[in-house]
């Protein structure tokens, strides 16, 4: 008999690093070069089996622009694992991880911040003009106890692996009955039409 769990993942990071593209590649196996900034937030739902557990994953993609930061608290709460995304060709997006990490902890207010699971995703690893080295990322990840994955949403490289690891960390971290009600109420408030948005 399989058990059933619901978890919530949140992708945050600067605009244009590929959050929507990663989510779309993972859920729909699709990629497009068309870029349109996410307005506020968007989400997809995916169901999968992890060992003996049937998991319904709600994946939230957030706008990487300051004018939507007021949405933070409502969106961040109830998250079971946070994916911090940056673009390996953009040192600015990597340097911004500090601020995103701190903001998440303030807005989500997890009961044990030092134990909360973070996954850092270095996206656009297929591009040759890389400006952030793996060593830099590994050093930063040590400071906040985060796991590190390199991906290419365009080439579908390591995308499934990064999300599956985030899901497993979320399942391990999540206590029974932990904040599902809040996630569900947020879900019900959203229009269930998914925008075709690749950022």
pLDDT tens digit sequence for 55-92: 999 999 876 554 445 556 778 889 999 999 999 999 99
User: How is the chain split into domains, by residue range?
Assistant: 3-189
Q: According to the CATH classification, is domain 3-189 in 3.40.50.970?
A: no
**First-residue to last-residue Cα distance in the chain:** 39
Q: Is the pTM of this model over 0.95?
A: no
Secondary structure (3-state) at 121: strand
Q: What is the pLDDT of residues 130-185, one digit of tens each?
A: 999 999 999 999 999 999 999 999 999 999 999 999 999 999 988 554 444 344 43
Compute the distance between CA of residue 100 and CA of residue 106 in angstroms, rounded to an integer: 10
Mean pLDDT of 119-131: 97
Residue linked to tokens 């990597």 = 94
- The answer to whether 92 and 14 have CB atoms below 8 angstroms apart is yes
User: Would you state the pLDDT for residue 130?
Assistant: 96
- The answer to whether 169 and 147 have CB atoms below 8 angstroms apart is yes
């Amino acid at each position: 008999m399989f058990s059933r769990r619901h978890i919530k993942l949140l992708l945050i990071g600067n605009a244009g690093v590929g959050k929507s593209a990663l989510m779309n590649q993972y859920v729909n196996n699709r990629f497009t070069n068309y870029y349109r900034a996410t307005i506020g937030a968007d989400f997809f739902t995916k169901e999968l089996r992890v060992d003996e557990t049937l998991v319904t994953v709600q994946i939230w993609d957030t706008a990487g622009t300051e004018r939507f930061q007021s949405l933070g608290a409502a969106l961040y709460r109830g998250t079971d694992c946070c994916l911090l995304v940056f673009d390996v060709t953009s040192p600015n997006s990597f340097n911004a991880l500090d601020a995103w990490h701190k903001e998440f902890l303030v807005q989500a207010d997890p009961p044990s911040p030092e134990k909360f699971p973070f996954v850092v995703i270095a996206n656009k690893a297929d591009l040759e003009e890389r400006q952030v080295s793996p060593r830099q990322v590994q050093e930063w990840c040590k400071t906040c106890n985060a796991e590190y994955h390199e991906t290419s949403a365009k080439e579908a490289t390591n995308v499934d692996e990064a999300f599956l690891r985030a899901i497993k960390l979320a399942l391990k971290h999540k206590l029974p009955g932990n904040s599902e009600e809040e996630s569900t109420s947020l879900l019900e408030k959203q229009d269930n039409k998914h925008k075709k948005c690749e950022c």
